[in-house]
């Protein structure tokens, strides 16, 4: 299976690493909107190609992984590239997924390609687990907790504040909330009760630290609804202690069975990730396999993780899965 990667940021590098760990995949090329000569990739003997040359690669790539951002790249990139390639993206703007789906489905169906959107871990593996768990326990509630982990969006929001040089924001689930959910108490939790936010900020020399702190903790949409702590650190501390991108979280469903609902049942799916982009890249690579198989069966249109049978994600032949993994 020949995989192309479009975009060589953290996620693109994560996909590249995953390809080296899957014997049935090979990296065909990395495409970039930057000057290809300026890009040094980890894999040897694989070309870095200008994005403009993509149309000449249609016969040399089975699946193209789109590693652009959800805010401005993917909404146009995915429908456009689905005209020529079978593609996978990690579009994660949950509220706008139906619009993205419709746009991608239109061009993928017209051109006869398979386009898997919103793959990764949330959306992705967490979504799968929400659906399976709700089907298995119809009388119950779903809870999703994120972290402890670095939120890139929230870190960026802090960096845009005047006087801030750099910042790292951790999303942290509130332990008491997790405990209440796991106990089967089925609590109604506010935003503030579920997660807190820890910010590590490098301020410019002479900056008004109290003003920065106030701007952060009152920022609507990002921090105002949370208990937020702000700690000012040096650039050296940031580099030493906060250069990784760990993340994770849990999807929990608690529900009841029994004639009087007397039996509590709890399903929990948890991730503890040292590297968020590398795990996301790994999931994308696994689902490339499913996209390639669907494409070879002649399917087309926009797909989600919900549409894919587990057998298509696995490198192991079906007979072996039945014999050894069931």
Q: Which residues bind a second copy (CB under 8 A)?
A: 14, 17-18, 21-22, 42, 94, 97-98, 101, 118, 123, 125, 127-132, 134-139, 182, 257-259, 262-275, 278-279, 281-283, 286, 289, 304-311, 313-316, 318-319, 321-323, 325-326
Find the shortest distance in angstroms from Cβ 24 to a second copy.
10
Find the shortest distance in angstroms from Cβ 203 to a second copy.
30
Rank residues 25 and 54 by Cβ distance to a second copy and give the closer one: 25
Rank residues 21 and 205 by Cβ distance to a second copy and give the closer one: 21
Cis peptide before 123 (omega within 30 of 0): yes
Q: Which residue stretches of the chain are H helix? A: 10-20, 74-81, 97-111, 125-136, 152-159, 175-182, 191-194, 209-217, 235-241, 276-296, 318-324
Torsion of Cα atoms, 10 then 102 then 83 then 41, to 10°: 0
**Closest Cα to residue 244, out of 204, 278, 203, 195?**
278
Find the shortest distance in angstroms from Cβ 242 to a second copy.
15
**Closest Cα to residue 112, out of 84, 137, 150, 91?**
84
Rank residues 51 and 97 by Cβ distance to a second copy and give the closer one: 97
Find the shortest distance in angstroms from Cβ 197 to a second copy.
23
Rank residues 192 and 264 by Cβ distance to a second copy and give the closer one: 264
Angle at 48 between CA 46 and CA 49, to 5 degrees: 125
Rank residues 138 and 206 by Cβ distance to a second copy and give the closer one: 138
Find the shortest distance in angstroms from Cβ 166 to a second copy.
22
């Amino acid at each position: 299976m020949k995989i192309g990667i479009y975009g060589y940021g953290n996620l693109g590098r994560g996909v590249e690493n995953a390809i080296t760990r899957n014997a049935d995949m090979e990296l065909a090329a990395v495409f970039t909107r930057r000057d290809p000569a300026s890009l040094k990739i980890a894999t040897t003997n694989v070309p870095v190609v200008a994005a403009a040359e993509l149309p000449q690669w249609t016969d040399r790539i089975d699946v193209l992984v789109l590693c652009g951002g959800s805010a401005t790249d993917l909404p146009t990139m995915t429908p456009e590239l689905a005209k020529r390639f079978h593609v996978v993206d990690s579009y994660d703007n949950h509220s706008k997924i139906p619009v993205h789906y419709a746009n991608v489905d239109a061009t993928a169906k017209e051109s006869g390609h398979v386009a898997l959107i919103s793959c990764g871990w949330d959306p992705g593996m967490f979504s799968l687990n929400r659906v399976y768990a709700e089907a298995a326990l119809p009388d119950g509630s779903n809870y999703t907790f994120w972290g402890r982990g670095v939120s890139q969006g929230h870190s960026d929001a802090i960096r845009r504040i005047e006087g801030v040089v750099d910042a790292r924001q951790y999303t942290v689930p509130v332990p008491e909330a997790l405990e209440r959910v796991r106990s089967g108490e089925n609590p109604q939790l506010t935003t503030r009760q579920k997660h807190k936010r820890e910010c590590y900020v490098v301020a410019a020399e002479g900056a008004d630290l109290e003003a920065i702190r106030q701007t952060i903790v009152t920022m609507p949409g990002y921090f105002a609804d949370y208990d937020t702590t702000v700690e000012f650190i040096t650039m050296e501390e940031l580099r030493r202690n906060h250069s990784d991108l760990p993340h994770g979280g849990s999807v929990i469903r608690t529900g009841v069975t029994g004639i009087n609902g007397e039996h509590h049942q709890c399903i929990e799916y948890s991730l503890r990730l040292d590297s968020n982009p590398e795990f996301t890249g790994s999931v994308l690579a696994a689902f490339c396999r499913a996209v390639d198989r669907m494409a070879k069966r002649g399917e087309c249109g926009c797909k989600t993780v919900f549409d894919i049978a587990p057998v298509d994600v696995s490198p192991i032949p079906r007979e072996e899965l039945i014999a050894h993994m069931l």
